[in-house]
Structures are given as C-alpha cells and as structure tokens.
Amino acid sequence: MAELWMPGATRLDIGDHAATDGGPAKAIAHITWDKNGTAAKPIDLVPYETLRSYFSGGGKGVAPHLLWDPFTGRFTQFVPANSRSKSLADQAGGTRTNRAGSVVIQVEALFFPYCRVGSTVYAKLSDTPCKGWAGLQAWVHSWGVPNSWPMGKPDGFISRRSASTWASKPGWYAHGDVPENTHTDPGSWPAFVATGSTSPTASKPKVSLAHIVYAAKHDPAAAQGHTTYKAEVLVVEKALKAEGLLASEYVDGSFGTKTITAYARWQHSPAGGGYTGSAADGIPGSASLKRLAARHGFVVED
C-alpha cells in the first residue's frame, strides 16, 4: 500500500488536512523562485532551512506537500499524500485546483534561475544534481500518478493551460499549466527514470468488490472474530484507519459492526462520495470503494 508520508522525508506535519475531490491522480511541479537572479548577476541559493521554516510557519497557507532540495536530496513533507495542500491559486467557482484528483501531490523544488551554489551557477533546475529525484518519482508513482506530462514536459517559463486536459488526464503538471494560476514555473524538470514497472497499479494490493460486500453482509452476524476474506478486508480496514475512521484494535480482517460503522462514515464524507440515507449504510459500493482505493494505493476488481 502506498505510504502517506514519503520514505526518507522529514515529517513536519502542519495540520489543516482536507480531502481531495477524486479524479485523475496528479502531481504538480513548482520551484520556490524566491529570488530573481540573472546570468549577469547570479544570486546565492536561499538556505533550505529558510524555506522549511517558511512553509511550516508564516507560509502555511501556501505550503506544498513536499519541499525538495535537488542539491542535497533532502525532503520535508508538510501534509500527507491524501490531503490537499495549498500551493496553487484556487479561484471561487472554478475547479478546486488543490483538490482536483484522487491525489494532487505538490512538490516545491528549492531553486530559482541563476542561483549560485558554491562557485557554480545553475540556469535551470534540470542542470542541478537532482539528488533524490528517483525516490520522489517512485513515491508519487505509487499513488497512481503516471510518469507523463499531459500538457508536455516543462521547457521554458511558459503556460499551456487546458481546462479539459486538466480535468481528464492523470500525470505530472507544471505549475504554469494549471488552470486559474498565473505563474509560469518550474521552467524545467528532471527526466523520468526507470521505475521497474510500466504500470502504477502493478504492485498494488487487489481486493474484489464482491468479496468485500459478502464479508460486510456476513461477518457482523457471525461469531466474534469471524473472517470471510481476511486479507482483502484488512486492506480496506487499514485504509479506514488511515482516514481516522477505524480504531487500530478493529483492524483485524473481520468486516464487523465497527468496520460497518467506519465505512458508513467514509461513504458519508465528501471524499467518499457524500452519500446519505441508505446509500451510506456501511456496505461498500463500487464508487465509494474505488475512491478509498485511489487514496490508499489498492485496486478494486469488480
């Protein structure tokens, strides 16, 4: 199952978690661009600690999921993968840019054009050592984000915004390609590296909708601790626990009354579909289970 917190990243949880809206899984590439250097007048790179303090302090309102230092390979993560972050402009009444996907993982690379590190000046992010990129790419990929750029790989400080592409295509997006935003970063980004799998779902756990529904209808009335499809139910229960809906002592592979109640709360939540009445009865349906799967890295087989 995909990890909510990137392995190897420093975890600096700023709180203010909120669900995404569902849809194509996305990642957004930003640069911090906190100085304006030129070829004639390069500027020393701002310390990593300065940006980390900003995003965990006065800049919480625009914090990404991850701050990445491509010179050293350091990462700090401010919110879990299944929460929205706030680095994108989001105008009232339009697409909820920070939430428009099963995940919308936002990455701020510590970089600005013509920054100087030691005696070397870097005009483009792709000119840096890009340390840690392979691990970052793999973690984002584990959340169902394909290694592709639906609007084209960043190549210059331009914007190529397409509302229809944004709404329908999963993958990586430059900040400059996101609707409602006026920034044109990141200008460049490292090339994708081999992941060992051509499919983002190849190594994900799989659950059968029919098995989960059967367990939900039969486990509550059976003897205490009875399990029908234990391995598959455990996948669902772990996801409910990660959502804060099921206590750890009830993650036991039995789709009992506590799991039914937790799943009903998931169905009722905006992330689970916002269902009401008999549609939020705790018996999983295809749509709500697939929403849970998209947020927690497993696959539902109808």
CATH architecture of structural domain 10-177:
3-Layer(aba) Sandwich (3.40)
Dist. CA 38–CA 112, nearest whole Å? 10
pLDDT, position 202: 52
Dist. CA 86–CA 106, nearest whole Å? 8
Q: Do the Cβ atoms of 107 and 65 come closer than 8 Å?
A: yes
> Which of the four pLDDT bands, split at 50, 70 and 90, describes residue 197?
very low
SS3 12: coil
Mean pLDDT across 214-222? 95
SS3 206: strand
Q: What are the boundaries of each domain within the chain?
A: 10-177, 206-301
Q: What is the pTM of this model?
A: 0.71
Nearest C-alpha neighbor of 190 from the set 144, 134, 151: 134
> Which of the four pLDDT bands, split at 50, 70 and 90, describes residue 1?
low
> Which of the four pLDDT bands, split at 50, 70 and 90, describes residue 242?
confident
Mean pLDDT across 178-182? 97
